[in-house]
Structure 1
Amino acid sequence: MSPPLFWADTVPEPGAELVLSGAEGRHAVTVTRLAVGERIFVGDGAGTVVGAQVSSIESKDTLVAAVRELTFRPRPQPLVTVVQALPKSERSELAVDLATEAGVDVIVPWQAARCVARWSGKADKGVAKWRAAAAAAAKQSRRPWIPDVTDLATTTDVRESCADTVAEGGIVAVLHEEASRPLRALDLAQVPSIVLVVGPEGGLDEGEVADLTALGAHSVILGPEVLRTSTAAAVALGAIGALTERWGR
Structure 2
Amino acid sequence: MLTLFFVDDLPTTVGTKYEFANEDANHAIRVLRMQSGGYFNLSDGKGNWSHVEILEVHKKHLTVIVLESGFQEPLETTFTIIQAIPKGDRIKEAIELCTEGGADRIVMWKAARSIGKSDDKIDKLQNTAREASKQSRRFRIPAVVGVATTANIIDEIAKVDLAVVFHESATMKLSEVIVPGAKKIAIIIGPEGGLTDDEIDAFAAAGAKVALMGRPILRSAHAGLAALSAINTALSVW
TM-score (norm 2): 0.95
Write out per-residue CA displacement over residues 61-102 of structure 1, whole angstroms, 9 at most, x where no aligned residue.
310111111121122231000000000112110000011111
- The aligned residue for residue 86 of structure 1 is 85
Partner of residue 210 from structure 1, selected from 182, 190, 201? 201
The one-letter code matched in structure 2 to 1:181 is: M
- The aligned residue for residue 102 of structure 1 is 101
The one-letter code matched in structure 1 to 2:193 is: G
CA contact (8 A) 1:188 1:240 kept: no
List aligned pairs for 1:15-34, cutoff 5 A: 15-34=15-34
CA pair 246-74 structure 1, distance change in 2 beyond 3 A = farther
- The aligned residue for residue 220 of structure 1 is 211
- The aligned residue for residue 198 of structure 1 is 189
SS in 2 for 1:151: strand
Instruction: Tell me if 1:239 matches 2:230.
Output: yes
CA distance in 1, matches of 2:169, 2:126: 31
- The aligned residue for residue 185 of structure 1 is 176
Aligned length in residues: 237
Which blocks of at least 5 consecutive residues in structure 2 are unaligned?
A: none
The one-letter code matched in structure 1 to 2:33 is: R
CA distance in 2, matches of 1:75, 1:3: 20
Cα deviation for residue 10 of structure 1 reads 2.9
CA pair 188-144 structure 1, distance change in 2 beyond 3 A = farther
Percent identity over paired residues: 32
- The aligned residue for residue 6 of structure 1 is 5
RMSD: 1.3
CA distance in 2, matches of 1:79, 1:199: 20
TM-score (norm 1): 0.91
Write out per-residue CA displacement over residues 19-68 of structure 1, whole angstroms, 9 at most, x where no aligned residue.
21121211111121111101101011011111111111122x31011111
CA contact (8 A) 1:54 1:66 kept: yes
SS in 2 for 1:181: coil
Write out per-residue CA displacement over residues 90-116 of structure 1, whole angstroms, 9 at most, x where no aligned residue.
211000001111111100000000001
